[in-house]
Structure 1
Amino acid sequence: MGVSVPAAFAVVLIAALVSFGVLYVSSENAYSEIHGALEDYNRMVLKERTIRLELSGYSFATLSNVTVYDITFNITNAGSVTSPTRWAFIYDGVIAAPSVVSPRTEYLLPGEWANVTVLNVQKDPGVVHSLVVSTEVGCALKVKWEWVGNTTSGAPQVVSSAWYCPVEG
């Protein structure tokens, strides 16, 4: 008719042990996930603090009878290893996939350099153009330049270049 007290106690004890086991496994999994995320974050912060790109030179190509030119920036890695295939480019405020030719190397080691070319820039004297090279950690190199001369003769001149990283907060 009824369940005996020892049988009921055994059922309650087994349920408590199973519950404790499930609780233990889930808390261990949560700890592992949090620990892994913290390691990933620390690696990203370290890379952000040690990565740095610098503009080390530039060149251009044009013909006197056309109103456009191509400008190539020589970018040197002055920090930790970076991956140019993961860079993003913003040319004059627009994400510039078709008008920017980026390096195809998987990694850029400290001290190595890569060329980034902006194609078909208009020869407009006095118009300042900009290119932002954003790395995989969000830090970026910004280069500003303008065409000096007229539409038949002249050359581009870099106005400024700056390296910046987002503020952690």
Structure 2
Amino acid sequence: MDRFSTEPNISDALSLVRTCHLVTMLENCLYRAKSTKLQCSKVLVPKELTTWVAQEALKLSLSEPCGLRGCIIHVNLESNNKQAALDTIVYDCSVEPTFELKLVLKQDTQGWDYLKDILLNRTCFPNIFRSIIKLSPKFQLSKRRLYFSLIGAGNEDC
């Protein structure tokens, strides 16, 4: 919102809506992956991680002809220097994709393995703690365009 105006900035409001929608899509992706790809009972996600990812994705979409609507996101999890594909998110399936993002979430093992070992050795519920994955607040997001741009070429229909 412009601090000199009482009218809400439509562009800011639209960005907020798109960010919130992408946050929901990312959270749903992790929820589905929990039981399918990760085979765990819980995924611990740092507060605001999905919001940070969504905001970065939105920034990377600003120079694209269809913005975030033309985005495909490949979500991966890195653990012990190996990556596993979790899911692919298509932001708007009614729009031909113009770019793709590769999101690499990282498993947080710093401190967690030590705590997990203590809990596993000293509790009656070892299976509960074995099936918890904790994500790091660190992530990588890389972009690849799916089109070749020519100066003076027609606009993409979005």
Q: So what's the TM-score if we normalise by structure 2?
A: 0.31
Q: So what's the TM-score if we normalise by structure 1?
A: 0.29
* Structure with larger Rg: 1
**Higher strand proportion:** 1
**Higher helix proportion:** 2
